[in-house]
Structure 1
Amino acid sequence: MVRPPPPTNKPHVCLSTILIMSSMALMDAYLVEQNQGPRKIGICIMVMVGDICFLIILRYVAVWVGAEVRTAKRGYAMILWFLYIFVLEIKVYFIYQNYKADRRSLDSISRKALTLLLSITVPVLYMILVGIDHMEYVRAFKKKEEIRNRLFWVVVDLLDILDIQANLWEPQKKGLPLWAEGLMFFYCYILLLVLPCVSLSEISMQGINIVPHKMMLYPILSLVTINIITLFIRGGNLIFYKDMRVSGILMGKNLIAIILKTCSFVQYRAQLQNVPPTLGIELQKNATPQAPPMLTPPQVVIQDMTTLPEVTTCEHT
């Protein structure tokens, strides 16, 4: 196995590792406490073995993430995010199923605490994976602010997805149909896996030259999958199932996001139509990294050494 280079930013690597393992330990505590009797010991052994295997894999992936500092790459950051969400959501699924099976347990404090834990650890890990590289290769302050604004929307979208998913395990008067619950959970699961990776890949493709039209994939996907579809999900829960836990604030956020993103798309299309063709070609050339010009080797002329020209010295300097 190829030994990874030493991480350049060790504090970020340690912080991400501590955050991941502490959140996993808290999920394990939920799973162990939900089981009583001899089954509790078996669940404890299973989660401990799983955490040890996960820690071994995390040791290599986290170091490679720290080694990507001072570059525009986010490959191992995406692998770490995918691995973390994949394992975390499996544990959340079993916790949610245990809550669903035990109808008598209406401990709203522990369920709210689970929602709070996810709403803190998931966005914070994403910000750590972005902040592990200070993007020193981006010199312009305006470009840095544009990236920060985009990352802010990613964090808000993560909270929106987690709010939809939390409706499944928080106490509710009337439960959703089984197919609707499963569809809602795995829809949020896929969004948590894919969308942050899309955002990280857009940043990694920029490099020094940040081009707006190369960072349009995430806004389009989030507009459709989060702002529009989750608006229908909350509206359906409110109308058909009388779910009073639907967040009206996030529904308003989705409406505002739809308006803002639609206006930005229209404005961007108008700017593209007004750009002259020659300027568009020049911008496209500047957007792509150009290789340094090849230096032609100097031509050496070999003269006849028998007839060297006489060099006269100049008296005046």
Structure 2
Amino acid sequence: MVPPPPTNKPHVCLSAILIMGSMALMDAYLVEQNQGPRKIGVCIMVLVGDICFLLVLRYVAVWVGSEVRTSKRGYTMILWFFYVFVLEIKVYFVYQNYKAEDGKRASLDGWTGGGVDGVARKALTLLLSICVPVVYITLVAIDHMEYVRPQKKKEEIRCRLFWVVVDLLDVLDVQANLWEPQRRGLPLWVEGLMFFYCYILLLVLPCVSLSEISMQGVNIVPHKMMLYPILSLVTINIITLFIRGGNMVFYRDSRVSGILMGKNVIAIVLKTCSFVQYRRHLGEVPSPALGVEMQKNCVVHGPKVTMPVERPLNRIGV
């Protein structure tokens, strides 16, 4: 029988607590949105779902804890995908319940979702904007990357992961426009498109960032991690800029975040400059230097071969 891999128990416990805590808070929203006998049925369904999720988490989290001190992030990507997949399903039902409440109260003139209900919606946005980035930072575990020796290189990786966190907040802000108080509702197809577009970004983009760390192995080079910046430039910095601009122009959405629109403009400029510098650096480096760098980044594991050494013949005898 294969023994279990050595795990980082504090990391496993912390990630499991954060994940299950955010799930429990979303369950509280789902239960409180239902009244009467339906509340009991929803509570039972939520508990059954959490037990199944906890059983899967028990095994996946152990494997995630076993790869914390290595350059591999395969199980970390699986856990992130699984976590966001379940969390966003619960967010979708919470959002649909809020939408149903808005339909019932549409007959009230001048109602904009204020009061206690408006505070609860903004608290949901705050909850997601804290839990999702914190879980991502915990799963990355950059402080446990012992194979990254230079402190400068570790700071560069931390800076790139900071951009991932900012992009997560950007996506969550776009998604939060669906359940926060609105003066004028968006068309049904626009709401569905916005929700599932943000859903896909939350699922895929952090996994791309983790895969860049995993693919480079022990000899990680931060300035060559260009896949995530390219994808985020198109899918977040450009497209969400058009989404916010369209909501502001066509639907008179006064809740559009001007700060995050400015962030997207700055990110477009900075990432474009980084791409130009990276291409220029590749053009200036000659091909032999690239070969030497590739040899340095490769770690060869194999048996040592001892070469025979010739001995000089004796002058008297053979």
**TM-score over 0.5 (shorter chain):** yes
* 1:1-12 matches, cutoff 5 A: 4-7=4-7, 9-12=8-11
Q: Matched residues in 1 for 2:304 and 2:3: separation?
A: 35
Number of aligned residue pairs: give it.
304
| Residue in structure 1 matched with residue 73 of structure 2 by the alignment | 74
- Determine whether 1:231 maps to 2:237: no
Q: Matched residues in 1 for 2:211 and 2:4: separation?
A: 21
Q: Matched residues in 2 for 1:225 and 1:69: separation?
A: 29
| Residue in structure 1 matched with residue 175 of structure 2 by the alignment | 165
Which of 263, 281, 284 is residue 253 of structure 1 equivalent to? 263
- Percent of paired sites with the same residue: 77
Shift of 1:118: 0.3
Letter of the 2:160 counterpart: R
Superposed CA RMSD: 2.2
CA contact (8 A) 1:96 1:168 kept: yes
Deviation digits for residues 257-315 of structure 1 (CA, Å, limit 9, x no counterpart): 000000010011111111122212222322333345741454799x9xxxx979xxxxx
Letter of the 2:92 counterpart: Y
| Residue in structure 1 matched with residue 277 of structure 2 by the alignment | 267
Shift of 1:202: 0.6
Letter of the 1:217 counterpart: L
| Residue in structure 2 matched with residue 25 of structure 1 by the alignment | 24
Which of 286, 289, 296 is residue 299 of structure 2 equivalent to? 289
Residue 251 to residue 224, structure 1, CA distance change in 2 (3 Å): same
Residue 183 to residue 130, structure 1, CA distance change in 2 (3 Å): same
Q: Matched residues in 2 for 1:143 and 1:293: separation?
A: 31
| Residue in structure 2 matched with residue 313 of structure 1 by the alignment | none
Letter of the 2:216 counterpart: Q
CA contact (8 A) 2:68 2:141 kept: no
Shift of 1:237: 0.5
Deviation digits for residues 33-76 of structure 1 (CA, Å, limit 9, x no counterpart): 11111111110100000000000110111111111132111111
CA contact (8 A) 2:156 2:222 kept: no
CA contact (8 A) 1:71 1:133 kept: no
CA contact (8 A) 2:95 2:179 kept: yes
Which of 122, 129, 135 is residue 125 of structure 1 equivalent to? 135
| Residue in structure 2 matched with residue 314 of structure 1 by the alignment | none
| Residue in structure 1 matched with residue 109 of structure 2 by the alignment | none
**Larger CA deviation: 61-70 vs 146-155:** 61-70
Give secondary structure in 2 for the equivalent of 1:102: helix
Q: Matched residues in 2 for 1:18 and 1:85: separation?
A: 15
TM-score normalized by the length of structure 2: 0.90
Q: Matched residues in 1 for 2:26 and 2:182: separation?
A: 22
**Larger CA deviation: 69-78 vs 193-202:** 69-78
Letter of the 1:70 counterpart: R
| Residue in structure 2 matched with residue 204 of structure 1 by the alignment | 214
| Residue in structure 1 matched with residue 51 of structure 2 by the alignment | 52
Shift of 1:120: 0.5
Shift of 1:6: 4.0
| Residue in structure 1 matched with residue 87 of structure 2 by the alignment | 88
Deviation digits for residues 170-200 of structure 1 (CA, Å, limit 9, x no counterpart): 0000011100000000000000000001101
Give secondary structure in 2 for the equivalent of 1:136: coil
Q: Matched residues in 2 for 1:87 and 1:110: separation?
A: 21
Q: Matched residues in 2 for 1:238 and 1:198: separation?
A: 31
| Residue in structure 1 matched with residue 123 of structure 2 by the alignment | 113
Unaligned runs of 5+ in 2: 106-112
Letter of the 2:31 counterpart: V
Residue 74 to residue 133, structure 1, CA distance change in 2 (3 Å): farther
Letter of the 2:246 counterpart: G
TM-score normalized by the length of structure 1: 0.90
Deviation digits for residues 115-170 of structure 1 (CA, Å, limit 9, x no counterpart): 01100000000000111761111111221111011000000000000000000000
CA contact (8 A) 2:18 2:131 kept: yes
Residue 42 to residue 129, structure 1, CA distance change in 2 (3 Å): same
Q: Matched residues in 2 for 1:33 and 1:227: separation?
A: 36
Q: Matched residues in 1 for 2:84 and 2:26: separation?
A: 13
Structure of larger gyration radius: 1
